[in-house]
Amino acid sequence: MNKNLFAENIFENKVAFVTGGGTGITGGVARALAENGAKVAIISRKIENLEPMAKLIKESGGECLPVSADVRDYAQVESAVRETVEQFGKIDILVNGAAGNFLCEASELSPNGFGTVVDIDTKGTFNVARAAFEELKKSKGQIINISATLHYAATPMQIHVSAAKAGVDAITRNLAVEWGKYGIRVNGIAPGPIEDTEGMKRLVPEPVKEKLLRKVPLGRFGRIKDIENAAIFLCSDAADFISGVTLVVDGGHWLNGTSFS
């Protein structure tokens, strides 16, 4: 499933601002937006995590601006938005993909560990949406919040991420309602187990993978490409009347429960 399923250059003249856009799922989304014609700013705490993706996009003929900012720090986020607008003139598409994750039992997790993930995922999503609001209002733009399915049931060792992503889904719905009047669409994507990611390598040990696979009705793990395709669809005019939705892209996995085993 490598061929492009969409019309060429559907995001020509669009500018995307993608947090966490250097690596993993959101890195794929950033690259896919660029491949489909968007100019892309990618944002992460560490510039060295952005440089390989920026190089890849530029070598493929795209335009990419890597900007270092911590989504927990509103002043840094505002400055990244400013730099993007100075470089590319506007923002049409915001993808909130910056996230933190690790496995930890609730009984072992420190309050600061819980709060750190909520700060990155939930507060970070609000911070970036808030800082980009004026630009999105001008462009009648849209937001994609990268979520998860962990909180649809209960996923052991993921209380912090489950709480954080439940908050992200609430933000998706709230902003869809409050900002619809400006023509801004706000949606989410909830990836299931995606195999070609660092997260999957780190969070799902090899012996558990087989058990997990048996819980996916479509009989395979997801690929980053599956999330890219969902993002392109949601960002395209084909989704013009879709807002406030978190699209689950998991091969049906969560219907069999969200625990890893």
Q: Respond yes or no: is residue 162 known to be catalytic.
A: no
Find out whether 205 and 211 touch, Cβ atoms under 8 Å.
Answer: no
Eight-state DSSP code of residue 222: B
Q: How far apart are CA 162 and CA 152, in angstroms?
A: 8
* Closest CB to ligand COA among residues 36, 101: 101
Q: Does 102 bind ligand COA (CB under 6 A)?
A: yes
* Closest CB to ligand COA among residues 12, 105: 105
In the set 14, 39, 165, 215, the catalytic residue is 165
Q: Does 107 bind ligand COA (CB under 6 A)?
A: no
How many CB atoms sit inside 10 A of residue 205's CB?
11
The residue with tokens 């087989």 is 210
Q: Respond yes or no: is residue 14 known to be catalytic.
A: no
Q: Does 68 bind ligand COA (CB under 6 A)?
A: no
Eight-state DSSP code of residue 176: H
The residue with tokens 């395979």 is 220
| Stretch touching ligand COA by CB under 6 A, among 113-121, 125-133, 208-216, 218-226 | 113-121
- CA-nearest of 10, 62, 12, 70 to 41 is 62
Q: How far apart are CA 139 and CA 25, in angstroms?
A: 25
* Closest CB to ligand COA among residues 10, 104: 104
In the set 147, 162, 215, 243, the catalytic residue is 147
Q: Does 244 bind ligand COA (CB under 6 A)?
A: no
Interface with ligand COA (CB under 6 A): 99-102, 104, 109-110, 112-113, 116-117, 199
Q: Which residues are catalytic?
A: 147, 165
